Structure formats: C-alpha cells, structure tokens
Amino acid sequence: MLSHEENELLTRTGPGTPMGQLMRRYWIPAVFSAQIAGPDSPPVRVQLLGENLVAFRDTEGRVGLLDECCPHRTASLFFGRNEECGLRCVYHGWKFDVEGNCVDLPSEPPGSSFQDKIRVKAYPSIERAGLVWTYMGPSGLMPEFPELEWTLLPENQRLVSRHIQECNWLQGLEGGFDASHIAFLHRGTGAVNQHVVPSFHETMRSDFGAIVGTGRESGEGDIRWGTALFIAPFQKVFASNPNGAHIWVPMDDENTMLYSVDFYPAGPADSALMKRSREYFHIHTENLPGTDHAIQNKGNDYLIDRAVQAGGQSYTGLKGLGVQDCAI
C-alpha cells in the first residue's frame, strides 16, 4: 500500500514535479498525424503532463508543438491562423514558427530588434507510426527514438486508437498489469475465463523497464505463464492474437490519454480481421464523434446495464473490457 506522500510523488506529472521531470526525458505520443494532415491545416489542442499546447503543420509540412498561450497577452494560439510557415495569433498578429521563434511582429516599428527577443515555448516533434511524438525534456539529453516493434511495421500491419480515461496515469497502468481482476471484472466478456483461477506473479527488471509474468493453474497440474513488457515510463506490450500495446499518457493529474495498438508482426491484416479481433475482445471503446471522449463515460455511469448484471450475462453490466477498466 502506498503512503499518501508516495502516491503524490508518482501521480503528479506537471512542470517541476519529480515524475513530470522523469517523463519529459522520454518520447511521448501527442497527436495523430492525420489530425494535422495537410500543410497549413487548422491547429489542434494537445494536453500533455499538465501543459496546454497546440500542434500544427506548417506550409513546408513541418510539425510544430507550441505553448497554447501567445507570450504577448496569453491569447490562445488554437484560434491562430496557420499561414506561410508560421502560426499567427489573431489578437495582435504575432507569428511563430515550428521552433517557437517569432517571425513577424507587426506592432513594432521598422528597425526594431524586439522581435528577436520573443519566443514561445516549443517542443521538438517527430512522426512515427501515424503519430506525432514529442520530447519535452532538456535539449542536451534528448534520446534516440526507441525501436518499438509496432512503430517499425507498415501501416497495414497496425491499428491505433485512443480515448480519454478519467483517472490518473498510474491507475490506468496499474490496472493494465493487474491480472488478478480479470476473472471478476471481465467475467462474461469475450474469451475471458468464466471461473476464478488462482494466479501468480513475477517481475524481472530490465534496462527498458520490466518483464511481468502471470502464471495460472491449468487444471492439469502445471502452471501456464504469460508475459508482458513494461516499457518505461508508461507503456505495456503484450503477446496475443493480434499482438497489443497500451500507452497511458498523462494529460494532467486526473485524466489520461490511452493509446491502444493492435499489431501483426507476421504480415498484413485485412480490415475484416482487425474488426473481428476488436469485436471479439471488446477492448477498444467507441468515441463520441469528433472527440477523444468515449461514448460510455463517467458522466453517464458508463451506461451500466443493471439487468444484464443481475442476469449474470456480465459480472459488471458494463459492455466491453476497455469500458470496464475505465469505469473501475
């Protein structure tokens, strides 16, 4: 059991916090590339580690991730004009490039050097596997992008979705590695075992995080083991059919963006196979159109069906593994 102080240390990720400083030393998924698909397309809001940011693609196709607040009067750059290799604040016309440099300052007279002193906070970004990733830590300590298996596969061998979990990142990650809850919370869903089976756990540290093993009695006198990888600071990779990965990215201290990945290392998977696997496991949630908020959410009690719960078709009355995890 964590003490209150330990819990605060691990779950607070804003600027200046110990955990926040640690997480900023890793590459973090920020937004889908498709959300800023074209040059000079509209900027989108991004919330990471307690910071409000905007992502945009400039005229030359470069991606920028800037502080949402214009440094002049803190107007939101989300409302900015994305034009001619920069994002222009609509309040007074200050314009910034993808590196945060002020490239136009209309309010200054000719010959003024004040523009050279103005910057907005900007984070370096790269694109991998249909996602924009960013590094928010000290510039001199930026690591190479990790060779995550699913990011190295072609587009027709992976499928990535995301939705907001209304909890802190550690609650989400802890649930993802907790095998003991499966026979209860997920009973009656997909291929989940309908009986309570004793489980055993082992963890081995590694240079990337840890290898987590879960053993279950098979009924034939032996223990069958399954393993998953914890890749620091907030990713899980596991073997299934298809293989999978989850990334619990802190938006702030009470909300987490969960990225869910299905990937097929052996070869391409057609859309029908991907659809069947998702329907079978009920892992992925459906979002409200145009948002990252799940249809089944905290505001509507995750659409719990008490009749289904009472009738025994589902232990919880909540539809889908992902929804059950989010609710609890």
Q: Which of 147-161, 200-214, 282-296 has the lowest mean pLDDT?
A: 282-296
pLDDT band at 282 (very low <50, low <70, confident <90, very high): very low
The CATH code that applies to domain 155-327 is 3.90.380
Q: Write down the pLDDT at residue 74.
A: 96
Q: Is the pLDDT of residue 91 over 60?
A: yes
Cα torsion for 131, 137, 138, 143, to the nearest 10°? -50
Q: Is the pLDDT of residue 124 over 50?
A: yes
Q: Write down the pLDDT at residue 16.
A: 97
pLDDT band at 179 (very low <50, low <70, confident <90, very high): confident
Q: HSE (CB half, 13 Å, CA atoms) of 269?
A: 20
Q: Is the dihedral of CA 165, 190, 314, 288 positive or negative?
A: positive
Q: How far apart are alpha carbons 184 and 188 in whole angstroms?
A: 9
122-134 mean pLDDT: 98
Q: Write down the pLDDT at residue 79.
A: 98
CB 121 within 8 A of CB 68: no
Q: Closest by alpha carbon to 139, among 95, 85, 104, 100?
A: 100
28-32 mean pLDDT: 98
Higher pLDDT, 189 or 302: 302
Q: Is the pLDDT of residue 113 over 90?
A: no
CB 179 within 8 A of CB 314: no
Q: Which amino acid is at 161?
A: S
pLDDT above 90 coverage of the chain, percent: 71
The CATH code that applies to domain 26-139 is 2.102.10.10
Q: List, in order, residues 6 or more apart from 205 with CB less than 8 Å away.
A: none
* Mean pLDDT (the chain, rounded): 91
Domain limits of the chain? 26-139, 155-327
Q: How far is CA 276 from CA 244, 270, 283, 296, 313, in A?
A: 15, 10, 12, 21, 21
301-317 mean pLDDT: 93
162-167 mean pLDDT: 94
275-295 mean pLDDT: 75
Q: Is the pLDDT of residue 312 over 90?
A: no
**Packing angle between helix 169-177 and helix 4-11, nearest 10 degrees?**
100
Q: What is the pTM of this model?
A: 0.92
34-46 mean pLDDT: 97
Q: Write down the pLDDT at residue 108.
A: 86
**Cα 44 to the center of its chain, rounded Å:** 16
Q: Which of 16-25, 63-72, 114-123, 237-246 has the lowest mean pLDDT?
A: 237-246
